[in-house]
Amino acid sequence: MTSHRANAVLEIDLAAIVGNWRSVVARLAPATECAAVVKADAYGLGMREVAPVLAAAGCRLFFVAQIDEAIALRGILPNREIAVLDGFVAAQGPEFQEFHLIPVLNDLGQLAAWRQIDAAARPPAMLHLDTGMSRLGLPAAELARLQTAPALLAGVALRAIMSHLACPDDPAHPLNHVQLTAFRAAVVGLPAAPASLSASSGIFLGRDFHFDLARPGAALYGVNPQPATPSPVAQVLCLKGKILQTREIDTDSTVGYGATYRRERPGRIATVAAGYADGLLRSLGNRGSATIAGRKAPIVGRVSMDLLTLDVTDLDPETTHPGNFVELIGPGHDVDALAAEAGTSGYEMLTALGRRYHRVYRDSAS
Ligand SMILES: *Cc1c(COP(=O)(O)O)cnc(C)c1O
């Protein structure tokens, strides 16, 4: 049961997240380790709730983007490895030591700064090589320098050597194999360490891309890692908004700010208690849809901060009473579908989800 105060409810199925992690593990060779990426508050779904269930399922290594996220995660998971994708600056040394955090070193300057820490009290580190993303990681020239001067790594315990794919959601993209080849060549010249190339989508490119360590994020949270084919992962979300009012409107009435929607015959509009402040992007205006008792209703007019409006003219009025809930994300309309209507990705949709939903965590295991 939802609270009488709940105007919009986000149900998060922790058991499904664990199931998705296990299904990724099952895809990997037995010797390949599977981490979990829980940056950005576990893609908006709640790191505090998600990380412990993944740890209980056997995940030993967690990635976050920022050191603040890592420190928060250390309070949740005292005994798991935590890696920080954003890298390292010298001033953060005491915190990396105190909280036993693994930096992902992204250039030779970060590596040199890391080696300033007393080796006896220094956590392991990861090294990130850029093989074609041109975002983070050692550029090719720095990699070449490192290969000719291995002393630059002296004393550094390498937890992994990693790189990141630019186009793994498009299996036919030539850059996938260009990066694979570059990564294979790069690790040959470096000290032995577990190699890691793939996030969610890369894992689904096949065994060649798995190496020793995989780093899935989005697939755990129900985003389809291979959008051109049916999703291999389970949905984990249900997002519902309450109907606050239902009204009849006449021919030529307009709906919402800017009067961007005009009906040509009389109809019915249902106003729902969720808007762009809740992550239902303005781009859903006159494009998105919701589901009411199994029927689709289009979002008409602009999305406002706290509200959106549905055209429910063709729906059974019994299903559109004030107080009823409509489904914005659910079995018939998953996060990728809503994202497509908004002109964005499931990733952005998830991380945009607002802070004021009544959140309900389900864990069939507990
Ligand atoms: C975000 C991120 C991941 C996880 O990516 P998904 O596509 O969500 O699985 C893995 N590695 C790096 C370097 C990342 O930035």
Model confidence at 206, pLDDT cuts 50, 70, 90, reads: very high
Closest atom, ligand 1, to C-alpha of 162: 13
| pLDDT per position as a tens digit, 127-136 | 999 999 999 9
Does ligand 1 have an atom closer than 6 angstroms to the CB of 199? yes
Centre of ligand 1 to C-alpha 199, Å, is 5
Mean pLDDT of 333-361: 97
Question: Which residue in 227, 270, 230 sits closest to 248, CA to CA?
Answer: 270
Model confidence at 366, pLDDT cuts 50, 70, 90, reads: very low
Predicted confidence (pLDDT) at residue 326 exceeds the cutoff of 50: yes
Which of the listed residues 20, 27, 37 should we mutate to test ligand 1's pocket, taking the one with most ligand atoms within 8 A of CB? 37
CA distance readout (Å), 211 to 175, 176, 232, 248, 317: 18, 14, 21, 60, 55
**Is 257 labeled as catalytic in the residue annotation?**
yes
| pLDDT per position as a tens digit, 62-107 | 999 999 999 999 999 999 999 999 999 999 999 999 999 999 999 9
Domains of the chain by start residue, with CATH: 14-221 (3.20.20.10), 237-333 (2.40.37.10)
Mean pLDDT of 28-34: 96
What residue owns the CA closest to ligand 1's atom 15? 85
**5 CA to centre of own chain:** 28
**Is 240 labeled as catalytic in the residue annotation?**
no
**For a pLDDT cut of 90, what percent of the chain falls above it?**
95
Taking the model in full, what pTM does it have? 0.97
Does ligand 1 have an atom closer than 6 angstroms to the CB of 215? yes
Model confidence at 1, pLDDT cuts 50, 70, 90, reads: low
**Could you tell me which residues are beta bridge partners of residue 214?**
34
Q: What is the mean pLDDT of the chain?
A: 96
* CA dihedral angle for residue 73, residue 74, residue 76, residue 78, rounded to 10 degrees: 150
